[in-house]
């Protein structure tokens, strides 16, 4: 059964990577929640796409790296909808057993802090992926049994050679670079294929016919309705 994954939550309806976006995606029946993580200076994993936030100071707006802020300081910052940047703990607590949480690691050197967070929620189904393929492998080395995926925005010349050394369960492939051969070779290497970010309904149907295993989308409710009625 094709899996529908909400890209940063229901990000066309709510501000991405926020608790309302994730809650809305769950209400729409998303099978998975995809999100981005960084770490604060005091080792708390937070959910945000960019490595920094923009804050106003006495001299005007300033860009402050998340890695240079502690959690208390970060929580004084508000996003444009008034929300705080959520911690991964808060998201895992919200999602619980309702969906898989797919965690894209955006920063290097945060594997220990991430594993510590995941260990607090052993009943939540999680998977870890990154463009830096060393990161999910390092997470699984610290937390055996963690499902991992490799992100790709190019067409690998040898898909099996990329997937097998990592023993990755999933290939996160840019949607427009997926064809029948890629799906076939990824499956032969023991990996599922997750297409990102797919919002076009006709192309989604094409990928479904190819045997793609999951679609990561900004519109989980609408895409589910189109594909499954």
DSSP 131: S
Q: What is the CATH number of the domain that holds 224?
A: 3.20.20.190
Distance CA 111, CA 132 (A): 12
Distance CA 66, CA 107 (A): 10
Distance CA 106, CA 132 (A): 8
**What's the pLDDT at 81?**
87
Residue 75 lies in a domain: no
Distances (CA, A) of 64 to 40, 41, 48, 67, 185: 11, 12, 13, 9, 43
**What's the pLDDT at 147?**
98
220 within 8 A of 26, measured Cβ to Cβ? no
Q: Using 50, 70 and 90 to split pLDDT, how confident is the model at 212?
A: very high
How many structural domains are present in the chain? 1
pTM comes to 0.96
**What's the pLDDT at 62?**
78
- Residues 117-155: tens digit of each pLDDT: 999 999 999 999 999 999 999 999 999 999 999 999 999
Residue 116 lies in a domain: yes
Annotation says 48 is catalytic: no
CA angle 149, 6, 13 (to 5 degrees): 150
| Cα dihedral sign, 30-35-40-42 | positive
Catalytic residue among 48, 49, 129, 133: 49
Residue 207 lies in a domain: yes
Mark out the alpha helices in the chain (DSSP H runs).
Answer: 19-27, 71-74, 88-95, 111-119, 134-142, 159-163, 180-188, 201-210, 220-228
Is the per-residue pLDDT at 54 higher than 90?
no
Residue range 79-98: mean pLDDT, rounded: 95
**What's the pLDDT at 58?**
58
Q: Which domain holds residue 20?
A: 3-49+86-228
Residue 193 lies in a domain: yes
Residue 211 lies in a domain: yes
Annotation says 7 is catalytic: yes
Residue range 18-34: mean pLDDT, rounded: 98
Catalytic residue among 7, 38, 129, 133: 7
Residue 25 lies in a domain: yes
Computed over every residue of the chain, the mean pLDDT equals 96
Residue range 69-76: mean pLDDT, rounded: 93
Residue 145 lies in a domain: yes
Residue 73 lies in a domain: no
| Cα dihedral sign, 129-133-139-145 | positive
Instruction: Name the token pair of 188.
Output: 């032969």
């Amino acid at each position: 059964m094709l899996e529908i994954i909400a890209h940063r939550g229901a990000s066309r309806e709510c501000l991405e990577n926020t608790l309302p976006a994730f809650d809305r995606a769950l209400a729409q029946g998303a099978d998975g929640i995809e999100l981005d993580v960084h770490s604060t200076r005091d080792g708390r994993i937070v959910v945000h796409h960019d490595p920094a936030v923009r804050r106003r100071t006495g001299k005007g707006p300033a860009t402050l790296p998340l890695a240079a802020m502690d959690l208390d300081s970060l929580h004084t910052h508000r996003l444009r909808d008034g929300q705080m940047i959520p911690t991964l703990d808060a998201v895992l607590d919200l999602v619980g057993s309702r969906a898989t949480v797919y965690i894209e690691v955006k920063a290097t050197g945060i594997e220990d802090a991430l594993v510590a967070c995941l260990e607090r929620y052993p009943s939540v189904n999680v998977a870890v992926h990154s463009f830096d393929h060393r990161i999910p492998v390092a997470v699984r080395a610290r937390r055996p049994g963690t499902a991992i995926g490799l992100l790709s925005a190019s067409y690998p010349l040898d898909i099996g050679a990329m997937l097998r050394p990592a023993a990755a369960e999933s290939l996160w492939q840019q949607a427009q670079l997926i064809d029948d051969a890629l799906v076939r070779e990824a499956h032969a290497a023991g990996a599922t294929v997750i297409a990102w970010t797919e919002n076009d309904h006709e192309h989604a149907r094409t990928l479904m016919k190819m045997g793609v295993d999951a679609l990561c989308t900004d519109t989980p409710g609408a895409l589910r309705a189109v594909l499954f009625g």
